[in-house]
A and B are shown apart, each in its own frame.
Chain A
């Protein structure tokens, strides 16, 4: 498989560049659109009747690993994640494929098989797709899901005093970068791949909807950028830097400066909105590392924190306080 220059979500356009263009597009004001792109949420939501709404989302990217089947699984897990991040259930999926004309079609077959395995695991159905010839491989899914209108999880509904939990470890970008320079720890790669192919479908199975104030998936940009998105300029988050979970070997990789361009883009995007009270380069990098198929980041009020820890494997990483000059303070 052709190794891509910047695989997975590290290939994503910077958040800053994107919102500047999006803000210039004309919008149609349809009252059925409950969540559109102006709220920078994970997917779009369209109400279809009194009770239910449809969630639409799509995600695709170039390979970050050589194994086509695994790449297919990662890309599909990542695409399905947006539905879970909004509280929905995936119904149907369409393949999005870019594939070079001169490559072995069996490779593509394995990618699609890997993707389909995850669609099936999610209880959804693959119903079609679109393929074009392109210089590099890219693959992903457009997914449609369904959600009850009174059970939508949003990313901009955080409350003061909330505590935030993260359901997957950080460091997929760092581990894949170490692989790219040929200095990866096979165990860490295995750990990262297993995380990237784990569906984000357990949150609402374990935690009552009413407890969750806000939710997003940490995928595409880094943890700090997604956290900043959730604060939507209204609150400040205090991050416990020592509580951030990460894959084994990440520390060695950061010590070796296996740093991605995407992480630096994330750092540039947040600029001085984030302040580090700890002088620890690793804590900075792990939070800026662009995640591919990362976990869910959700907030609950303090009174439920203890129960959440017992019900769901997750890490308590931050707390919401009144807005200060900084958007994020890392301690």
Chain B
């Protein structure tokens, strides 16, 4: 999958950096440590800008090229910042057959952004994901940890309005 790379300036804090170094120290020397560290780094920063990846590479003593290879390979790792509310529209088969594409179109239309993008004000970001495993509730959309199932496109307006308030 092609990844978008953020060109926003990096705004990491000292505390975040300390947390990251603690994570690196915990996993250093472990077999196959790059992925667990990237998972935790993404939890700390919300995304994986190249500055963070450089710290991971230096900390674990692996080439940056290898870290970058891993971070761009997996769809869970994001190189762009997420909005305060990340909207994920499931495009798994069960959801697709039940009209998930129309739900995604509606979100995209209301917010004026495409999947993998973030709104100007940083409030919403949008992702099209592959199956959250709640196929019984298709079509499904999640906003951070809230799950909305059995959706019709016109319900999207009301749901987004709740978060805009």
Partners in one complex: no
